[in-house]
Every structure is written in structure tokens, then in C-alpha cells.
Structure 1
Amino acid sequence: MKTEVQTKKTKTMEKTEEHYTFKLNENVTRQKVTFKNRFGITLSGDLYLPTNSSKLNLPAIAISGPYGAVKEQSSGLYANQMAARGFATLAFDPSYTGESGGEPRNISSPDINTEDFSAAVDFLGLHKAIDRNKIGILGICGFGGYALNAAAPDKRIKAVATSTMYDISRGTANGYYDSKTEEERTKEYVQIGEQRWKDAEKEKTSYGPTGLKNLPENAPQFVKEYAAYYTTSRGFHSRSLNSNGSWSLTNAVTNMNAPILHYIKEISPRPILIIAGEKAHSKYFSETAFEAAVEPKELLIVPNAVHTDLYDQIDKIPFDKLESFFNENLN
């Protein structure tokens, strides 16, 4: 495992290679780190540590998401805030995205992305400042689902929280509010199969258009909210595929074919905190995950918040609750 102190860049480089969508807390340090998952993919992360803590046995939290984002966006913002509250935090880019390894680019996998959380736990548990018996994980958006999936079998994870969660497998297979028919899903499988032959013939992965740019006026409101985050100065990052790219045209098939929350009950007796916005289009993912889980569990609905409010709106994200949840359960 490799750790290197973040180097200073020129102003030009700061806007590209080292651009963060939030300001580093004055009571927190940030270091670039790398570590490998069990598939041999090198993951890139930022390790945040509280500067005013001299003790070695810190509790720690691994953080990733949203789906299609990078660590310089929402996950880093959460890590920054939680480090200021006394936790060692690791915000990381999932496999095949951001600065993490894996080819081809911009693909996801319910298996590999679940493994990415366990690899982050590997890294944290070997760090000299961290108590390996006090490690939790936090997943944002689509990585909320992957975090729950990781926590079920990985008993080293002592507590798991999700914020503005998506169940990517369910959403991809069934559509929003489970509206997709079997016929529609079969048609998608056929299209993906045809695309695979095209890609295999060209020996090159194909990608769709950058979906959040140049939205039509009749785009759904939640899609406009995504664009308001990813394509503006509020949240844009050049390495984020939601800001500046797209998933591969064959990406959906593995998520469609692999339900990720089948074993959610086996997280118990370790605690779960699920956070969702009252007005989020995605709230039903959190509600049904909460229903499927067993105690100890808690569902916190943030008043008047939409899905993307919980990406970066510090006045709406319940950091006090996250702090108390992890303090109580990482002991």
C-alpha cells in the first residue's frame, strides 16, 4: 500500500488535476493514497485526518459515491466534514472511474464495486493511526446500495450508513418505481448483446453521449437537478463521468442481472443508518431497503430535501446525526 503527501500544484493544475468542489477544513489534513482490491485493481483515494488529534486509535469511515462521481466531489465533502469531527476518513474512486485503475473506463460492477469497499477497509485496518476494530462505511447514492451489500458479508464493518441511496441493480433492472416490464428488459438485453458483438469486432468499448449536457426543456425535474450539480461550478469535475462523460453502452447488464440487497438482513446485529430526502425521487429505494433490513436500523428523512441536496448542501446533510451514529457504534 502506498501513501504520498499531496503536492502543491500551479493555479492552472489546481483547476484540472487537483480541483476539489469544496474547501478543505482548516482542522483536517488530506493525503493521496493508493491501495489494491482483490481483483488487483489499484484504487485511488484521499485520506482525511483530524489535525487536532494526537491519539493513534482513531475510528475510521470509508466513503464512496455518488454513482458516476469522483472523490473530489460529494464523497470528499463528506470525508472532510467527518474528519473535522474526529474520524479518519477515506474517500475513494471506485474501480474503472476517476483516478482508480481498471480498463476499459467508465464501467461498473456490483461485485467489483462492492469489493472496493472491502478493499478500503483493508487499507484503513492497516493504517497505524486507525483502530481496525472501529471501521464503518458510508455510501452515497448508488454506492449506498453497494455499501449495504459490502456490509452483509464483511463482518469487519462495524456500522454502515447510506445517504440519498440508490439500489442500482433494482433501478437498472426494473426502471424507476419498478415500472419496466419483462418485455422491455428483454429488449435491452438483446440490444446489449448486439452491442457486445460490435465492440468485440472493433476491439473497443463504445460509449453513449454525455447525458447531462444540453438537456431538453421537458427533461424530468430530477435529471435537471443532476445537471445543476454535475455540469455547473457547483459540482463539475473533469474526471467525473457524470460531469464529462458517460457509462459504456454495455454497462447496464451486470447490474440488471445481480440483485445486491438479497442479504441485507445479515448486516444485523451491526447497525444501519439510512438517510434520504423528503422530496427525493429516489426515496423509495431507501424506504424499501429499510423495510428489508432488521434491527438495529434507523431511517432519517431530511425535510424538503431532493436527491442532490444531500450531495453537497451542508445545511441539509445531517452531519450531527452521522457523527453521533458512528461515535456510538465504532467503539
Structure 2
Amino acid sequence: MSEITENKREASEKTFELSKKVTVESVSYKNKYGITVAADMYLSKDIDTSKQYPALIIGTPYGGVKEQGAGIYAQNMAERGFVAIAFDESYNGESSGEPRQISSPDLFVEDFSAGVDFLGTRDFVDRDKIGAIGICGSGAFSITAAQVDPRIKAVATASMYDMSRMLRKGWEDTMTDEQRAQALVQLGEQRWKDFENGSPLLPDGFPGEPADSIPEGLDPITSEFFEYYAMKRGHHPNAGAAFTVTSTMSFMNFPLMNYIETISPRPILFIIGENAHSRYFSEDAYEMAAEPKELVIIPGARHIDLYDRTDMIPFDKLESFFSKNLG
């Protein structure tokens, strides 16, 4: 069994109410790059650790942390009998890695496989029954992890964002070749500046304290993210929702969906909101994926509503999907 280092920290305050039906334990483990991944493990209070259970690795929305939406998913799936972990990506949240707030498709994909390493070495987990859930940006990372890691037996995404497509092609694929070339020139110039300064440029994220209202003049998409990350609804001090400027370079040459069809015959479930600005990412991925696959559209839901709106997130569907496909 791999040596696992247990993290002795206190669990950070959550943005949601903890269920009386589960226990949550702060754990940590290494990924293959030596980064310590911090996670919260949720277990039903009815669990019998002499038996083995199906398990789920749950990734955060892009720029978020485990104390937000990922924790809500983990808690609700634990109530349904799954062992579930919500984790902070490398270089973010309570996971290790310097400099802080790096974004990397390779590392964020690896963090899912590291979660499989951890769960598959728990005596109370059936290592042949491990699945993944990715929310927003981690939806694409979970898909890519499944492309290369057959230990992930089933994948579900919610409000998926394909960040490689977004950063390579722009919103709704509107970036021209000339604009992309100029962006790469600017990123190269920024690397020189970062090298000379001894640290990478980090743009301002959302406010450190929760705001009372959405500022005037924000575009609709930014306003939506402000509502979640910057206001009481989802604000958490570890989630500034900002990454170093030069992190973008990694995504320019790392298409996340190129081999999605190779996940078959393992199943994929895409969940999107009817009114989500991001729904085209899931709809296009659904078309590219091979069977078995399923697309579920939640009436009236926006992108961020599938982060935390437990009245909209289809947990019964997630339970049936994973119960069926994890055996």
C-alpha cells in the first residue's frame, strides 16, 4: 500500500451547511509530481469500514476550492452511500506548490488520477468501482483523466467548461489566428517580466471579503461569476478565482477533448443548465463522445446554479448513474 501522509490541519470553513448524516475528514496525498493534494473525504455515518464501497473523486469549479461546490457534491453523494473526496488542485487552495495559483491542464488532470491512487488504497473502497465528477473547468479535466486512466470507470460533468478551448479559441470560438498569435507574443513578453521579477504576475481576483451587491457595468457572464465567488452565496477566502497570467500558455497547446471517444465503453454523463452560457461545451463534447453517453438539461438553471443549488443539481440522477455503472 502506498504511504499516505495524513494532513493534521483543521478543515476549513465550508460555504454550505454540513450534513448530520456524514462525517468529513481532512486528508492529503501526493500526486506523481510530488505535490501534496489537500482533500476532504466524506463518509456516511452508516459506513461499515469492514466492507468495501464505490468511491468518487470530485473536482472544483475553475478557480474554486473544495469548501464550495465540490464539497456539496461530495457530501450529497456520501449521503447516498459513496465514499467521496473533494480536492483542491495543485498550487491552489490548501494543496501545496509554489508559486501559488498556477493553472495547468496536465497537473489538474493528474490530480484526478492521484485521487484514484488515494481512494484505491483505502481498505473500505472497492478499487474497481471508482468514478469521477467534474464541475465547470474540472469537468474537462475529469474527462481527460478518464481518457488516460482506465481505473476511472464512469465520469459525470456539471456545467462543464473546456478551458483549453476557451483559452485557445476565445469565447464561442471567436478568437482569430492573428489574435491568438498576438496573445502568445504578449505571454512570451510576460514570461521575461516574471523571470526578472522572480515571481509570476497574478491578476486581481474577486474581493477578499464578500460583497453586498454586483457592481454596475459587468458583462452578464462576469456578473454571474461575481454572484457566486464574490458574494455571500459562495465566497471563500481561498477562492480568488484568478490564475497567473502565463498559465494560459499551457492551455494553448493542450486540447483536453481530443480523445474523448476512447473513454468508451465506460459511460459519460453530461449535466447542463437550460440557461447556462457554457452549455455549448457540454453539447459539443456529447456529440464527440462515443456511446454510452447521456446529456441531461436542467430546466431554468444557469451555469453557476449547478455549483450549489441542491434543488437543481440532479443528485438522484447522479446516484442512479454511478450505482449502475460502478456496479
Does the CA contact (< 8 Å) of 1:74 and 1:312 recur in 2? yes
Moved more, 33-42 or 218-227: 218-227
In structure 1, the partner of 2:82 is 87
Q: Which amino acid in structure 1 is aligned with residue 39 of structure 2?
A: G
Q: Give the Cα–Cα distance (whole angstroms) in 2 for the partners of residues 56 and 220 of structure 1.
A: 51
Could you tell me the TM-score, scaled by structure 1's length?
Answer: 0.93
Q: Does 1:193 align with 2:196?
A: no
- Matching residue within 305, 308, 312 for 1:309: 305
> Within 5 A, what are the aligned runs for 1:100-179?
100-179=95-174
Q: Give the Cα–Cα distance (whole angstroms) in 1 for the partners of residues 6 and 81 of structure 2.
A: 21
Q: Does 1:229 align with 2:228?
A: yes
Alpha-carbon distance, 1:251 to partner:
1.4
Does the CA contact (< 8 Å) of 2:51 and 2:124 recur in 1? yes
Alpha-carbon distance, 1:216 to partner:
5.4
Spell out, residue by residue over 1:32-67, the C-alpha distance to the aligned partner (whole angstroms, 9 max, x if none): 000011111110000101111225211000001101
Report the RMSD for the aligned CA atoms in angstroms: 1.5
In structure 2, the partner of 1:286 is 282
Q: Give the Cα–Cα distance (whole angstroms) in 2 for the partners of residues 183 and 97 of structure 1.
A: 32
Does the CA contact (< 8 Å) of 2:159 and 2:273 recur in 1? yes
Q: Give the Cα–Cα distance (whole angstroms) in 2 for the partners of residues 48 and 308 of structure 1.
A: 23
In structure 1, the partner of 2:237 is 238
Spell out, residue by residue over 1:123-169, the C-alpha distance to the aligned partner (whole angstroms, 9 max, x if none): 00001110101100000000000000000110111100000000000
Q: Which amino acid in structure 2 is aligned with residue 42 of structure 1?
A: T
Q: Does 1:262 align with 2:258?
A: yes
Does the CA contact (< 8 Å) of 2:62 and 2:136 recur in 1? yes
Does the CA contact (< 8 Å) of 2:109 and 2:145 recur in 1? yes
Structure 2: 5+ residue runs without aligned partners?
A: none
- Matching residue within 316, 320, 323 for 1:324: 320
Matched position secondary structure for 2:37: strand
In structure 1, the partner of 2:218 is 219
Q: Give the Cα–Cα distance (whole angstroms) in 2 for the partners of residues 116 and 4 of structure 1.
A: 17
Q: Which amino acid in structure 1 is aligned with residue 293 of structure 2?
A: K
Q: Does 1:32 align with 2:26?
A: yes
Alpha-carbon distance, 1:222 to partner:
2.0
Does the CA contact (< 8 Å) of 2:229 and 2:240 recur in 1? no
Q: Which amino acid in structure 1 is aligned with residue 229 of structure 2?
A: Y
Q: 4+ residue runs of structure 1 moved beyond 6 angstroms?
A: 212-215
Q: Give the Cα–Cα distance (whole angstroms) in 2 for the partners of residues 88 and 251 of structure 1.
A: 32
Does the CA contact (< 8 Å) of 1:69 and 1:241 recur in 2? yes
Q: Give the Cα–Cα distance (whole angstroms) in 2 for the partners of residues 153 and 249 of structure 1.
A: 28
Does the CA contact (< 8 Å) of 2:103 and 2:244 recur in 1? no
Does the CA contact (< 8 Å) of 1:139 and 1:162 recur in 2? yes
Matched position secondary structure for 2:139: helix
Does the CA contact (< 8 Å) of 2:93 and 2:238 recur in 1? yes
Q: Give the Cα–Cα distance (whole angstroms) in 2 for the partners of residues 53 and 207 of structure 1.
A: 43
- Matching residue within 1, 6, 15 for 1:3: 6
Matched position secondary structure for 2:245: coil
In structure 2, the partner of 1:44 is 38
Q: Give the Cα–Cα distance (whole angstroms) in 1 for the partners of residues 61 and 216 of structure 2.
A: 25
Does the CA contact (< 8 Å) of 2:206 and 2:240 recur in 1? no
Does the CA contact (< 8 Å) of 1:106 and 1:241 recur in 2? no
Q: Percent identity?
A: 50
Q: Give the Cα–Cα distance (whole angstroms) in 2 for the partners of residues 131 and 297 of structure 1.
A: 24
Alpha-carbon distance, 1:218 to partner:
3.0
Matched position secondary structure for 2:148: coil
Spell out, residue by residue over 1:229-254, the C-alpha distance to the aligned partner (whole angstroms, 9 max, x if none): 11111111101122xxx211211111
Q: Which amino acid in structure 2 is aligned with residue 250 of structure 1?
A: T
Q: Give the Cα–Cα distance (whole angstroms) in 2 for the partners of residues 120 and 87 of structure 1.
A: 14
Could you tell me the TM-score, scaled by structure 2's length?
Answer: 0.94
Matched position secondary structure for 1:241: coil
Q: Which amino acid in structure 2 is aligned with residue 2 of structure 1?
A: T
